[in-house]
A and B are shown apart, each in its own frame.
Chain A
Amino acid sequence: MISYLIFVGTIAGFYSLLSLGLVKAWGQGGLVNLGLVGFVGLGAYTSALLSGAGYPIWIDWIAASAVSAAVGVALCFVVRNLRGDYLAIVTLGFAEILRLAETNEKWLTKGSDGISGIVAPLKNHLGDNFAVFYLVLTWVLVGIVAFVLNWLLRSPFGRALRAVRDDEQVAAVAGKSVLRLKLQAFGIGAALSGLGGALYAHFTSYIAPDVFITQLTIYIFLAVTVGGYTRLAGAVIGSLALIALLEATRFVAALVPGLDAVQIASLREFAIAVTLILVMQLRPDGAFRMSNERSGLGASRPGPDACYGKKAVLDDGT
């Protein structure tokens, strides 16, 4: 039981890293990244391949973050002028293409068999204590990342980023380099996804294209939305809520008699998707609303809202 909790806690740490990245890019920067899982996979494969080639693990992890960040910045640069829902299509497609490459470039990734036997750090020395060590390591990283992001978001950089999110034109008029801020936010988000993927790869010692599917992106969107998609603390708490839900559905589904493995897995996925829909409907601001980020205009302002992009969503009246 203890080892199960340690395992689940470690996974929650990975989710927290991904959620922090998404809060950074989406919540604070306004850049949706539906291809999040693509960057997770990129980091995981980079790290696994480098460690397979004999490089030490800390270099693998830095490289994983760097590769994901670089690809993220490049993608963000290409799509810099796209509005939100178009960005959603492109990022979603991008992750799909990455997964195709993972599946089919067998010379590099071993295809759908996946890469197994990925080295775990210090596993030989630690023996049974490895699981605890990795749990602590993961959460220390989460702590460091949260601390640094928090510092970043309080800095002028963070304010400028939120200005870009809320109104690009105003930010540009105020002399902020909109493009650079966007690239930084998206790049940091991608780097964190890559780091999360790398940690995952060395923890389970096995990765395959099937691990990095759109479902994971939806999971992280759920975590971030539950916690309030602009808040760092919300990302961590949302990740804990996500893992609680994921594991709870596992037990509940097992209670129903006569279900096969496929049906149990479907039930869990169904539960996650429905929860995301409900959360979006009932509390789109999450548990932690934006409190201290608006300027001193007092009451909630209508914002640039309805004229977003070229076309407003049809209002259903009632």
Chain B
Amino acid sequence: MLTDLLQYLVNGLIVGALIALPALGLTLIFSVLGFVNFSVAAQLTAGAYAGWLANTTLHLPLVPVLVIAFSVAGALGVVTDRIALAPIRRKPSAQTPLMVAVVSIALSMALESAYRFSFGSGLNSFDMPIARDMKIGGIRIGLQQLHNIEIAIGLAVLLALFFSLTKLGKAMRAVADNADLARLKGIEPVRLANLATFIGMGLAGVGGALLAIDTSVDPSTGSRLILLIFAGSVVGGLTSLPGAVAGALLMGVIGELGLLILPPVYQSLTAFVAILITLLARPGGIFSGASGVRK
């Protein structure tokens, strides 16, 4: 029983680590640009497809595949953001954050149908060597999954360093904290918005590629996960990067433990309930202090 429980815990952390990357991206974009970008789903799929193409046609190994996934998803994210979303963001009105959110869903749908048009609806698997699962004290864990966790942690650490050490990172945090004050200090918002979108969507792309290596990629890979990604981000407070990682890991574990009482098909239900409870009870995320201070 205890090993079963531990196995669920490990599986949950594996799922959570993968979800953490797109959740980080979503949180980053929400912090800096102030709207919920549903097209994270489509960019995640873009990264997965880019990685799959790089791997199956060019026979590249893991690391270059991930670099390509990051760049393609990031670049596509910026381009589509400039074309589709930026013109709507410019109209200042009470409805703007919502309008941008709705349009980002349409954008996600447009991209998803473009993938379906180009690659068909089938499942595409990577051509990676399959390593035998390791067993540590009765708990089964795949080598690739172990790599996934390492990469996710590595990227999160890199991101943390970027935000605490570099000037750009600090500027971005300033904008996230108070856009008006940041502008007074001469920080230029457009470039930062693009950079935040590039990094955010790139992270989603890497998450998508890792996920697809573990399973497979099809046009709906991202949209199937969007609820779980949102749950990670929302539970973490939507504006806190460490919160997004913690939230995603938590959601992964809760989702797996939920399997003890729920049939597997209802895994999204735990995500939905978590989103609902967090938004209602602690809109600042479950890690916010009692006074509601988030940053």
Q: Known contacts being A89-B234, A100-B269, A314-B175, is A269 close to B190, with CB within 8 Å?
A: no
Q: Report whether A313 and B227 are in contact in the complex, using a CB–CB cutoff of 8 Å.
A: no
Taking a contact as CB atoms closer than 8 A, the residue among A222, A265, A303 that contacts B94 in the complex is A303
CB proximity of B86 to chain A, nearest CB, Å = 6
Is B291 on the interface with A (CB-CB < 8 A)? Answer: no
**B110 and A277 within 8 A (CB):** yes
Least Cβ–Cβ distance between A43 and chain B, in angstroms:
21
Interface size class of B (residues with CB under 8 A): 35 or more
Those of B128-160 within 8 Å (CB) of chain A = none
Cβ contact within 8 Å between A104 and B272: no
| CB of A27, distance to nearest CB on chain B (Å) | 10
Question: CA–CA, A276 to B109, complex, Å?
Answer: 11
Measured between C-beta atoms, what is the minimum distance from A224 to chain B in Å? Answer: 10
Q: Flag if B117 contacts A266 (CB, 8 Å).
A: yes
Q: Given A34-B102, A277-B84: A312 and B179 within 8 A (CB)?
A: yes
**Given A78-B276, A88-B102, A316-B190: A284 in contact with B91 (beta carbons within 8 A):** yes
B33 on the interface (CB 8 Å rule)? yes
**B230: Cβ under 8 A from any A Cβ:** yes
**With A and B bound together, what is the CA distance between A221 and B95 in angstroms?**
14
Chain B residue nearest to A270 (CB atoms) is B113
Specify which of B92, B98, B100 is in contact with A305 (CB 8 Å cutoff): B92
Q: Do the beta carbons of A274 and B90 come within 8 Å of each other?
A: no
Nearest CB on B from A163, distance (A): 14
Segment of B12-20, B162-170, B260-268 engaged in the interface with chain A: B260-268
- Say yes or no for A94: interface residue by CB 8 A criterion: yes
User: Which chain B residues in 91-131 approach chain A with CB under 8 Å?
Assistant: 91-103, 105-107, 109-110, 112-114, 116-117, 120-121
**Chain A CB within 8 A of B32 CB:** yes
Q: Given A32-B102, A97-B268 in contact, is the A263-B275 Cβ separation under 8 Å?
A: no
Knowing A86-B283, A273-B106 are in contact, say whether A313-B97 is a contact too (CB < 8 A). yes
Q: Is the CB of A316 within 8 A of B279?
A: no
Partner of A262, one of B100, B116, B269, B275: B116
A276 to B100, CA, bound (A): 12
Asked if A89 contacts B116 (CB within 8 A), the reply is no
Is there a chain B Cβ closer than 8 Å to A127's Cβ?
no
- The CA of A231 and the CA of B127, in the complex, are separated in Å by 54
- Whether, in the assembled complex, A84 has its beta carbon less than 8 Å from a beta carbon of chain B, the answer is yes
Whether B36 pairs with A89 at a CB distance below 8 angstroms is: yes
Q: Is A318 an interface residue (CB 8 A)?
A: yes
Determine if B98 and A84 form an interchain contact, defined as CB atoms under 8 angstroms apart. yes
**Across the interface, do A96 and B272 meet the contact criterion of CB distance under 8 Å?**
yes
Q: Is the CB of B98 within 8 A of A315?
A: no
Give the complex CA separation of A239 and B35 in angstroms.
28
Contact A312 B34 (CB under 8 A): yes
Q: Is the CB of B190 within 8 A of A318?
A: yes
| Docked-complex contact A316 and B36, CB < 8 angstroms | no
- Knowing A89-B275, A313-B97, the reply to whether A100 touches B265 (Cβ < 8 A) is yes
A169 proximal to B (CB < 8 A): no
Q: Are B189 and A218 in contact (CB under 8 A)?
A: no
Q: How far is B279's CA from A270's CA once the two chains are assembled, in angstroms?
A: 32
Nearest A residue to B233, CB-CB: A89
Task: Confirm or deny: B88 has a beta carbon within 8 angstroms of a beta carbon on chain A.
Answer: yes
Residue of B nearest to A312 (CB): B34
Complex Cα distance A93/B280, Å? 15
CB contact under 8 A between A277 and B268, given known A266-B113, A312-B179 = no
A251 within 8 A of partner (CB) = no
If A97-B272, A281-B88 touch, whether A88 touches B101 (CB-CB below 8 Å) is: yes
A116 at the interface (CB under 8 A from B): no
B173 interface residue per 8 A CB criterion: no
A214 touches B105 (CB 8 A): yes
How far apart are the CA atoms of A121 and B175 in the complex, in Å? 60
4 closest A-B pairs by beta carbon, nearest first, are: A273-B110, A266-B117, A269-B113, A266-B113
Interface residues of A (CB under 8 A from B): 32, 34, 78-79, 81-82, 84-86, 88-90, 92-94, 96-97, 100, 103-104, 214-215, 218, 221-222, 262-263, 265-267, 269-270, 272-274, 276-277, 280-281, 284, 303-306, 308-309, 311-318
Selected A-B contacts with CB under 8 Å, 18 pairs: A85-B36, A85-B97, A85-B101, A90-B275, A92-B105, A93-B271, A97-B269, A104-B266, A218-B105, A266-B114, A269-B113, A273-B106, A277-B103, A277-B107, A314-B89, A315-B189, A316-B193, A317-B188
